[in-house]
Amino acid sequence: MTDMHAFKRAFIIVLDSFGIGAEPDAKEFGDGDCNTLRSIVASKEYDTPNMKKLGLFNIDGVGCGTPEAQPIGAFARLRELSRGKDTTTGHWEIAGIISERPMPTYPDGVPPEVIAELEKAFGRKIICNKPYSGTKVIHDYGREQKETGALIVYTSADSVLQIAAHEDDVPVEQLYEYCRMARKIMQGEHGVGRIIARPYVGEYPNYTRTPRRHDFSLDPTGDTMMDALARKGLATIGVGKISDIFAGRSISRTLGINKDNVDGMEKTLKLMDEDFTGLAFVNLVDFDMQYGHRRDIDGYAKASTVFDRQLGEFMVKMKDDDLLMITADHGCDPGAPGTDHTREYVPLLMYGKHVKAGLNLGTYPTFAMIGATISDIFGADLYTKGESLLPRIIE
């Protein structure tokens, strides 16, 4: 452990699905030549001068964009060691947990015996039970849901079970309770990463999902950087769906689900005005949910541009003892076939007064380098396969 007390606050911002190129085992996960960054850089909507200055296009193997002549940040490429390419697995690995077994997915729908158990617990019929787009499923099944009082259950390429219902028919708190029931049932062999409540409003054909989505995650299966910091009484603040991803464990405070990426960054910018010692862990999900899965290249590029402007505000507000880390949890190449996540390397951009500028750290075998570094910064013990980058980045 390195006794270096240069940092009081660390901010990790996860650009959900911002991959930077296929990993060597991408074919094992059904992916070809995927590169989320390469796809969006080609769009006329893409303009991220601040990330460029930090060294985004100087990262090994990126293969797109123009490298910065004199980067102001330290930068690295991280490979996922876990057997997955989903939100839960990626975030858990960032925090220090390596998932050696993939979480279950249901390309043909959840097995009938599990559906029967869920229907018995809910006291309601289940309809759909297929992989589906979240907006299309309520369009296709919304009228049947209203007519029958059934619950729309669907999944995706991720390890998830999603339960949708109209707020007029199933109050949101009741929908949350159904998800809690499902979470208790779906453990072990059927322990999907997340059970997700998907409330919606409106009339056919104009249904709209509401921001009252809520994720009910598995309890983390190992020690996390938040656990390590919590044992020392330090702040562990979640912005966006971080608390949901970690089932609330060792999150000292959550600022809740973001309305969108802009709202998430506004919350983060406001948080910078507070005096705390520890970690702020931020997830910006629109890159993935709104643009990656929908294969919207221009939308993804524009969202990156908007984030970069807010990043500029963030960098101006940073204090001398702040550390910024920007990364991702997997890829979701909007230029790739299908709608699934893509198995990609992720970037790690680090910036602060005490971070060596222009430092190319190369490629590392696990996202858990981040968790190890955070724990080292705060002198907290964490058991993980990641190694701290602190001795290398400290100015």
Residue numbering of the annotated binding site for Mn(2+): 16, 288, 293, 329-330, 341
- What residue type is assigned to position 132 of the chain? Y
- What residue type is assigned to position 277 of the chain? T
CA 285/CA 293 separation, integer angstroms: 11
Q: Which has the closest alpha carbon to 360: 11, 94, 57?
A: 57
Q: Which has the closest alpha carbon to 31: 40, 39, 41, 21?
A: 21
Task: Output the six-digit token pair for 22.
Answer: 């296929």
Q: Which helix or strand (DSSP H or E) is residue 286 part of?
A: helix 286-286
Q: Do 334 and 292 meet the contact criterion of CB atoms below 8 Å apart? A: yes
Q: Do 265 and 326 meet the contact criterion of CB atoms below 8 Å apart? A: no
Please state the separation of Cα 234 from the chain's center in Å.
23
Sign of CA dihedral 254, 272, 36, 353: negative
Binding residues, by number, are 16, 288, 293, 329-330, 341
Q: What is the 3-state secondary structure (H, E, C) of 355-382?
A: ECCCCEEEEECCCCHHHHHHHHHCCCCC
* Beta-carbon contacts of residue 27 (< 8 Å; ≥ 6 apart): none
Q: Do 242 and 281 meet the contact criterion of CB atoms below 8 Å apart? A: yes
Q: Do 192 and 186 meet the contact criterion of CB atoms below 8 Å apart? A: yes
Task: Output the six-digit token pair for 19.
Answer: 């991959």
